[in-house]
Amino acid sequence: MVAVLCGATCILSRITTTRLLVRGWVFIASLCGVAALLAYVVTVSIRAYFAGGLGGGSFAIQAVVAVGSSVLTAVLAPGIFRLCRSVDARFARTEREREAVREGYLN
């Protein structure tokens, strides 16, 4: 289940980032927070469908965990994006590519 969810999240994220120019920490944090919340909802839905229950507590507990994990993802995402962009800029071939990666124009 986790492998399918990670694959679907990766594909949807790639489609989303090609359609949107995600720049600025507010947009990155909000996009990642919403994506984490949707991934959690899909996980709970699949678990409820196949296992016949929520698996691990009541709906209130699941909601608190979902919101907490999506907020933590939104808080940490801008720093991780910045780190990934700096690694991409380090391996860029030309100065123009480096600058475009730093600004977030290239993925």
Q: What is the pLDDT along the chain (107 residues), one digit of tens a residue?
A: 778 777 877 787 777 766 666 677 888 888 888 888 888 888 878 777 777 766 666 778 878 888 998 999 899 988 888 888 778 777 777 887 777 776 666 55
Q: Tell me how far CA of residue 10 lies from CA of 5, 6, 22, 44, in angstroms.
A: 8, 6, 16, 18
3-state SS assignment for residue 81? helix
Give every CB contact of residue 5 below 8 A, 6+ residues apart in sequence.
39, 42, 43, 46
Residue 41 token pair = 């909802």
Residue 39's CB: how many other CB atoms inside 10 A?
A: 20
DSSP H helix total and E strand total for the chain = 4, 0
| DSSP 3-state percent helix, strand, coil across the chain (nearest 5) | 80, 0, 20
pTM for the complete prediction? 0.68
